[in-house]
Structures are given as C-alpha cells and as structure tokens.
C-alpha cells in the first residue's frame, strides 16, 4: 500500500508539474491512434496486392517507418532550434532551418531507394517465394515516397511554426503527429505506386526504375557533398542510422509475414499492428527527443547512466501510454465490428494491446535513452539518430512483442 501511495503521489506531482506536456502528448497520441487505425484498415484492404506481389510486405514497415524516422528526427532538431532560440523560417536554403529541410528531403527519397535494395536482399535471405524484382521494389519504394515526403515535411514545419507561437513543447507533439502522418499517407501511396508494377507495360516499369535510381542517387550525392555544413553533417550522420533502422523494420515485416496465415483468421488483429508499432515508437520517441534537448542544454550528463534527470520524462511516457493503449484496444474492436472483420473479443483485444504495447514501449525506451547517450558521446547529434533508431527498434520489438502477447494469451 505504501508503494502504491508513493506512486500515486509521484503521478499527481508529475501531472501538476507538467500539465501541458501530459495534455499535448496525450492529444498527439490520440491523433496518432486514429490515423494508425486508418493505416491498419488500409493494410487489411490490400491483402490481395500483398499476395500478388510476394515480398512487398517486407518493404512496408521500412517504407512506412522511414517517413517517421526522417521527419521525426527533423521535428526533434527543430524542437532543439526552438528551445535554443534559433528557429527562423526563411526561403533561403543556407539557413539552419533550410539546411534541415533539404537534408530531410534528400534522406527521404535517397534512403527509399536504398531500402528497396535492402528489402529485396532480406526477402531472398529469408526465402520469400517468388519475391518481386529489385526494380519493382525500387519503383514502389521511391514513387511511393514522393507524396508522403511533401505532405509530412509540410506538417513537420507547420507544427514547429505553430508551436513557437503557442508555446508548445515541440518534443511532446512533433514525433507522434509526424509518425502518424507518415503512417496514414505512406501506405496508400505505396499501394498506388504498385500500379506502375502491375498495370503498365514492362518497359514503363523499367524506365520508372531507372529514373528513380538516378534521382535517389543524385539527391544523396548533392546533400553528402554540399558546401553547407549542417546539410552535409545531417545527411552523413543520418544515412547509416536510417539504413540500419530500415533493416530492422524489414525484419519486422518478415516477423509479421511469418504469422500472416494465423492473423488472417481474426483480421481485427491486423488492424492493431500499424498503430501499435507506431505508438510504441512515438512514445519512446518523446523520451529520445526530450533527452536530446536536455543533452544540448547540459541538463543530462552524457558520461554516465542516471535515471534521475530523465525520470520525469520516462514517467510522462507511461502516463500517456496506458490510456492510449486502452483506447487503441477498444477502438480496434469497435472498428472491426463496424467493418465486419472477425475479432477475438473485446477483452482479448484489450489484453493483447496492453501487454504488447507496454512490453514494446518499455524495451524501446531503453533503446531511446541508450541511443541518445551513446550518439552524444561519439560527438554526433542525438536529434539526427535517436528518433530513427527508436522508431525502427519499435517496429521490430513491437512486432515481436505482439507475437509474444498472442502466444501468452493463447490467441495464436
């Protein structure tokens, strides 16, 4: 009882000390839940395309996660610029904000090209039967990245600009909103891009693959060799982490693919997967962004591991996560009932979402804190690397946690 009473007092103290952070974080993740459920419905509706294009499911988590990785990191960097008083919107590309935007576009398109190659290699390595060609992967990945890049870039900048005027904590809002936007925009874009593979003459698809390859390489080379220091540094520091993140996300795709037959018997569980993976990443992304800002401000000592300075941030993550996962479990079951999809039951939906969500969030928070400290010690900017590592880790860890929860609860 004493421990429970002490926990309650700490909880109340946190809410009183940072009511804006709790409110903004909850609202942002509520929006992320809604958009994630939309993404889940889209995923369920394109099962025919996934069967027609074997191996495409390997690319989906990486392609969807890439937008959150790139623009979540951008949001984290803009949050730091806001906190340090250096955020200024301008049309000039040589400003700090301009270099951040250009780097993000180059990384979003260029990394999409490289992820297509990684997805093909992973599909072959894990024995996906009759996997589509690397050219098909390239077309779907790069063309499917064009619209999401423009849309999510605009949303990220808008959040920062509005946040400055309304005195938001950008770190609490940007990551979940950007991740949600990336999820809901990227999946339909990938689906539309598949028409260039399935419904056009072969030579059109080949030409599209060549143009995508040239465009992606050119954008990356311009950014990597730029004379603008921030543009060059952000691109060079971010690209290796984005590719590592993409590799982990393709493993998440393989994990889901391996149990697709069992999940198809109760399609309501498929609705849960995109928002669950997204939420666990964006929740831990809050921790990553806040720790990065504290490192830049000298409020966290990078030379040692200490929970004290980040305890309020860690507690904030779980204060937000518990009601959000409850909302997700209930909303997914209601949505399944409305759309006529089979569900294991409302209680079981609550149980699997809560168990998988808390497990994934806890482990991913460890990754978030460790990644911020290690990258800062190495002289890198944790704003560039923290969010991609956290997001990709959450894809894989979230997929594993979801499967473990299904086994524990006897649903698979």
Tokens 């795709």 correspond to 253
- Res 20 pLDDT > 80: no
| The predicted structure's pLDDT at residue 172 | 63
C-alpha 181/C-alpha 176 separation (Å) is: 9
> Six-digit token pair at 400?
């594993």
Range from 28-42, 89-103, 144-158, 386-400 that averages highest in pLDDT = 144-158
Q: Which residue in 62, 45, 412 sits closest to 258, CA to CA?
A: 412
**What is the extent of the structural domain holding 112?**
2-408
Residue position matching structure tokens 């990754």: 367
How far apart, in whole angstroms, are the C-alpha atoms of residue 86 and residue 97?
A: 9
Task: State residue 254's pLDDT score.
Answer: 85
pLDDT tens readout for residues 118-171: 999 999 998 888 889 999 999 999 999 999 999 999 988 888 887 777 766 666
Our count of domains for the chain comes to 1
Return the closest-CA partner of residue 330 out of 45, 24, 30: 30
- 158-188 burial, b if ≥16 CB within 10 A, otherwise e? ebbeebbeeebbbbbbbbbbbbbbbbbbbbb
Average pLDDT over every residue of 298-311: 75
Instruction: Give the dihedral sign, CA 110/72/103/370.
Output: negative
What average pLDDT does this structure show over 8-34? 64
pLDDT digits (tens, 9 = 90+) for 64-94: 888 878 887 888 788 778 777 777 777 778 8
Closest CA relative to residue 282, chosen from 79, 68, 75, 104: 68
Question: Quick check: 221 pLDDT over 90?
Answer: yes
The tens digit of pLDDT for each residue in 184-218 reads 888 889 989 999 998 888 888 899 999 999 999 99
- Percent of the chain whose predicted confidence (pLDDT) is above 90: 23
Q: What's the full length of the chain, in residues? A: 412
Q: What is the mean pLDDT of residues 274-280?
A: 83
Q: Which of 70-79, 221-230, 274-283, 318-327 has the highest mean pLDDT?
A: 221-230
Q: At what angle do helices 170-193 and 268-296 cross, to 10 degrees?
A: 140
Q: 219 falls in which pLDDT band (50, 70, 90)?
A: very high
All residues at 6 or more sequence positions from 285 whose CB lies less than 8 Å from its CB, including other chains: 72, 76, 175, 176, 179, 368, 386, 387, 390, 391
Residue 355 has what pLDDT?
A: 94
Q: What is the mean pLDDT of the chain?
A: 82
pLDDT of residue 10: 58
How confident is the model at residue 105, as a pLDDT? Answer: 94
pLDDT at 11 over 60: no
Q: Is the pLDDT of residue 239 over 80?
A: yes
């Amino acid at each position: 009882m004493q421990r429970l009473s002490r926990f309650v007092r700490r909880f109340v103290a946190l809410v009183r000390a940072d009511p804006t952070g709790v409110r903004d974080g909850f609202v942002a993740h509520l929006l992320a839940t809604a958009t994630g459920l939309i993404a889940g419905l889209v995923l369920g509706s394109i099962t025919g395309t996934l069967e027609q294009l074997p191996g495409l499911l390997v690319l989906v988590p990486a392609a969807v996660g890439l937008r959150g990785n790139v623009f979540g990191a951008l949001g984290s960097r803009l949050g730091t610029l806001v906190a340090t008083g250096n955020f200024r919107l301008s049309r000039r590309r040589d400003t700090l904000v301009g270099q951040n935007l250009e780097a993000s576009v180059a990384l979003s398109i260029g990394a999409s090209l490289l992820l297509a190659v990684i997805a093909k290699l992973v599909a072959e390595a894990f024995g996906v039967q009759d996997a589509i060609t690397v050219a098909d992967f390239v077309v779907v990945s790069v063309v499917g990245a064009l619209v999401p890049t423009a849309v999510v870039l605009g949303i990220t900048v808008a959040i920062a600009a509005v946040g400055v005027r309304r005195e938001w904590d950008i770190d609490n809002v940007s990551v979940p909103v950007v991740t949600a936007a990336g999820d809901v925009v990227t999946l339909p874009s990938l689906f539309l891009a598949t028409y260039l593979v399935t419904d056009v003459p072969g030579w059109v698809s080949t030409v599209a693959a060549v143009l995508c390859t040239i465009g992606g390489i050119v954008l990356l080379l311009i950014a990597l060799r730029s004379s603008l220091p921030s543009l060059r540094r952000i691109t060079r520091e971010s690209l290796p982490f984005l590719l590592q993140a993409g590799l982990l996300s393709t493993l998440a795709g393989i994990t889901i693919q391996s149990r697709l037959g069992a999940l198809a018997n109760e399609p309501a569980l498929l609705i849960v997967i995109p928002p669950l993976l997204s939420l666990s990443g964006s929740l831990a992304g809050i921790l990553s962004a806040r720790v990065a800002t504290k490192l830049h401000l000298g409020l966290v000592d990078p030379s040692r591991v200490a929970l004290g300075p980040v305890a309020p941030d860690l507690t904030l993550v779980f204060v937000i996560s518990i009601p959000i996962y409850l909302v997700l479990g209930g909303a997914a079951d209601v949505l399944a009932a409305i759309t006529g999809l089979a569900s294991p039951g409302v209680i079981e939906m609550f149980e699997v979402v809560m168990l998988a969500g808390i497990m994934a969030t806890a482990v991913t928070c460890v990754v978030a804190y460790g990644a911020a400290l290690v990258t800062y010690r190495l002289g890198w900017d944790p704003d560039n690397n923290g969010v991609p590592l956290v997001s990709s880790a959450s894809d894989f860890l979230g997929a594993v946690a979801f499967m473990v929860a299904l086994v524990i609860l006897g649903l698979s």
